[in-house]
Amino acid sequence: MNETQKQTLMQFSVPVESILVVKRSLLFTQDAWHGMNTTNLDQFIKVITKHKEFLPRPEMEQDPKYKQIIPYLIFCHSEKYFLMQRKTTASEQRLQGKLSLGIGGHMRQEDMISNSLFDWAKREFDEEINYNGSCKITPLGMVNDDTDDVGKVHLGLVLLLTGDSDKISVKSELKSGTLVPLDECVKQYDCLESWSQIVVNHLQTLDD
């Protein structure tokens, strides 16, 4: 067996990841908005729950007719936010090395043990982060950015996790993380991935 045949065999032997997506036309009945949408959050969740599909990730990364739904979890403790850096080997090449406030990832069908997006979001938090403590989850809104190739195929459900402990550290896709005040996030603004920039803008309005 030559090298090309081996690579082809490997491609067929690796299972294709199926992820939760919703047709763009169902999420945006008019033109898509840009930034944070803090209104009609319950309606968005109803649409996602009712119309969710699980389709192959490689295809969905290139198909803007669908939006991949990503819970985007912002951790806060004592008015400090958990700011992370993604590894340069992160699976999403377009986000490698970026700073991020958001903890989260794709929803896989095998992970959906209930119909609650919040249950899945907490599960994702536990998979990505080491944390000793309890936390309260508060929905902030939906984040959308169609100005780049990543944003065109993703839609974020932004959740604020307010913790009672600072014992938190990163795993897996993340290189490092530290609790910093919001003004430090503002100083690092140009290094943030686009969704985190949008979230920082929103958090500043809450502090005003």
In this predicted model, what pLDDT tens digit does every residue of 119-129 receive, in sequence order?
777 888 888 88
Nearest to 149 by CA among 48, 31, 63, 37: 63
pLDDT at 4: 55
State the CATH number of the domain containing residue 145.
3.90.79.10
What are the backbone dihedrals phi and psi of residue 75, each rounded to the nearest 5 degrees, phi first?
Answer: -95, 135
Residue 175 lies in a domain: yes
DSSP character at residue 93:
G
Residue 108 lies in a domain: yes
User: How much is the pLDDT for 110?
Assistant: 74
Q: Average of pLDDT values for 133-154?
A: 92
Residue 130 inside a domain? The answer is yes
Structural domain contains residue 12: no
Integer-rounded Cα Rg, in Å, for the chain is 18
Domain that holds residue 116: 17-207
Q: What does the angle CA 136 – CA 139 – CA 144 come to, to the nearest 5 degrees? A: 140
Instruction: Assign 92 a pLDDT band (cuts: 50, 70, 90).
Output: very low
Averaged over 143-165, what is the pLDDT? 93
3-state secondary structure of 12: helix
Q: Rounded to an integer, what is the distance from CA 206 to the centroid of its chain? A: 21
**Eight-state DSSP code of residue 192:** B
Q: Confidence class of residue 89 from pLDDT cuts 50, 70 and 90?
A: very low
Of the two residues 112 and 136, the one the predictor is more confident about is: 136
Number of domains in the chain: 1
Q: Is residue 195 part of a domain?
A: yes
